Amino acid sequence: MSGLKQELTGQKRSRMEELAALLNRASEAYYARNTEIMSNLEYDRLYDELRALEEETGYVMAGSPTVHVGYEAVNELPRVRHDQPMLSLDKTKSREELAAWLGDHQGLLSWKLDGLTVVLTYEGGKLARAVTRGNGEIGEEITANAAAFRNLPARIPFTGKLTLRGEAVIRYSDFEQINEEIAEEAAARGVIEDVRYKNPRNLCSGSVRQLDSAVTARRRVRFYAFSLVEAARQENGAEGTGADFHNSRLEQLRFLEKQGFETVETVLVTGETVAKAVGDFEEKIAGYDIPSDGLVLLFDDIAYGESLGTTAKFPRNSIAFKWADEQQETTLTQVEWSASRTGLINPVAIFEPVELEGTTVRRASVHNVSIVRALQLGIGDRLTVYKANMIIPQIAENLTRSGTLEIPCQCPVCGGKTEIRREIDTEVLVCTNPDCAAKKIKAFTLFASRSAMNIEGLSEMTLEKFIAAGYIHEFADIYRLEAHRDSIVEMEGFGEKSYNRLWESVEKSRNTTMPRLVYALGITGIGAANARVLCDHFGDDLQAIASADAETLSGVGGIGPVLAASVSAWFQDEKNREVLGHLLQEVHPRKRAGLTAASPGSEASGDSTSPAGGSGGLNPIAGKTFVVTGKVDHFPNRDALKEYIADRGGKVTGSVSAKTDYLINNDVSSTSSKNKKAAQLGIPILSETDFLKLAGEAADRDPAATDQ
């Protein structure tokens, strides 16, 4: 061999070793730790490069990802060897290749779901074993967890031995909510790191492989069958012949459906119709609720497919179709660093708008510092971008690779110092300020909640976006969002209508009651009920509450020394007083009718003769005790009616007694226990209409109306 040829071969072998190591590390992260260190597009590109080099040189390393399947399980679940090895699928992005592969045969075209492949075995009509795919030869037993899958039948009609394969998935519609619940649970345990999952596939894998099946049950995992492995009947205690499926995979799927399993959506195709069927699936993907990363084509003829055998890695009776990602070239204009409640600051690439898969795309998550460095990003760089699985915008490649992007030294939300931390193979940027507003998302969520300022449209997810973008640093900033209107309208999930509804609710919340405002401040231990007690006692005088010492506050009925110390400490804190001062420039809490401040140490009481609207200029609700029962028509719910009463100095209790002044029940002729008790005690029973007349308000009150 010439020196030049030896040198070239050596370079190629070095590149192959480099590629194999990188791909294996990516597989380990993906399969064993449910994380990603590269995009699917990048993995496929490197994999294709490795396979091309192997074909060119005729050299394949023992550890090459082209000859081994998956990644070895590393957690504590029991390991089980599969009766039949589970191989990967060869793939193509060409519809013409699909047609040529199918030839004159019929095939089944179905979604390639993106979850965790599971093998189920039923015996005697009951689930006997569930095993993950693992490395294709050895998987992890998850029987107890599989029993908690939402749509898996607990008992089936077939009483022989039934083995099938399918995909465990978490739907997009469940993903965000479950992710938030996981983050909340972690925060409650004091966990700082961002424990949320990047995508439904990783969340599903982490959920299915739990050691506690109760966790799996809460994650709403679903199972979709895609193939039957065995259906052997039992005859006199011994295995007999299986069911007759007329040599058709489609018949097998129909059999599984009759047993109660949900199956992957499948259509029967020929070489002439397969391209159109692919197009039909493509049209559905944007609104498809189940994660999918392509399609699978399988010969319907069982005997023919099995006669083809397998390669070292792939079965020859099926092939995967990967979407040919539409790519567009654009220019990076900005990298937005988005702070989260955990302290992580995640980069988001902003680029010149491009059209991808029928929509305009302007931004894509870069996930962490490691990927920023791997892409060698810099403002002004030329990028190619695409939508992973035709849904999630991603950067495919940085054509310029200037590497000039600076990692920020200050948090975009609080201005605090940042630092780069390494988590296994990944570098992340973290805000070190414990008082960062982004870490106080719960405080802002409580502030906007129904029982506090009642700002509809300001969900926890929306707040997190606004805080990350630097729009909200303290409570008063919520009332200044109009300054960021144009940017908010352009945010994902927003638009003119969504913004207008939000801003209308923000404006409405400016006029609120004092108990709502005190509760919204988030003082430790002070819930909605205690906020009302405080305001009742001090006659809705916020200055009186703020200036009261702990001893005075502990004299308020129901407060006690611990809560009194908490209230006093909150109002003595200089930063809190500054935040409250800014807030009071934006909101205008009104004094409720019929309230007078109690003298120190005494119980607050309503004054039924205080002016408050109503007939004769008097407040007929203040000082009265009500019981509310049954369905309401003029308020959103019973809680809203109860709050209406309390805001006007009345009291609401849960049961009828001699101290009750009125029972409110729209069904005045009901024979319920509360109506009977009221009748026995001579207590008036009012319909809502009667009550509103008593309150001096029109009986045609809008049911959607709520008092701030």
CA distance 608 to 373: 70
End-to-end, the C-alpha distance of the chain in Å comes to 86
The three-point CA angle 379-383-384 to 5° equals: 165
Could you tell me if 53 and 38 are in contact, meaning their C-beta atoms sit under 8 angstroms apart? no
- Helices 574-584 & 560-572, crossing angle to 10 degrees? 70
529-538 contacts at long range (C-beta below 8 A, 24 or more positions apart): 530/558, 530/559, 530/563, 532/646, 533/557, 533/558, 533/559, 534/559, 534/567, 535/592, 535/595, 536/595, 536/604, 536/606, 537/597, 537/598, 537/603, 537/604, 538/597, 538/598, 538/604
Q: Count other C-beta atoms under 10 Å from residue 669's C-beta.
A: 7
Distances (CA, A) of 425 to 17, 196, 369, 428: 19, 18, 11, 10
DSSP secondary structure of 12-75: HHHHHHHHHHHHHHHHIIIIISS--SS-HHHHHHHHHHHHHHHHHH----TT-TTTS-S----S
Kindly provide the b/e burial profile for residues 23-43, where b requires at least 16 CB atoms within 10 angstroms of the residue's own CB: beebbbbbbbbbbbbbbbbbb
Could you tell me if 335 and 347 are in contact, meaning their C-beta atoms sit under 8 angstroms apart? yes
- Helices 40-57 & 3-27, crossing angle to 10 degrees? 150
Helix, strand or coil, per DSSP, at residue 250: helix
Exposed/middle/buried for 493, CB within 10 Å: 0-12, 13-18, 19+? exposed
Residue 308 has phi, psi (to 5 degrees) of -75, -20
CA distance 144 to 384: 45
Element (H, E) at 487: helix 485-490
Q: Which residues are catalytic?
A: 112
Element (H, E) at 517: helix 514-520
Cβ neighbours for 308, distance < 8 A, ≥ 6 positions apart:
299, 315, 316, 317
- Helices 172-188 & 200-208, crossing angle to 10 degrees? 60
CA distance 211 to 398: 41
* Rg, Å, the chain Cα set: 32
Q: Would you give the DSSP letter of residue 605? A: -
Cβ neighbours for 575, distance < 8 A, ≥ 6 positions apart:
none
Q: Where are the alpha helices (DSSP H) in 147-286?
A: 172-188, 200-208, 213-218, 249-258, 274-284
CA distance 181 to 665: 37
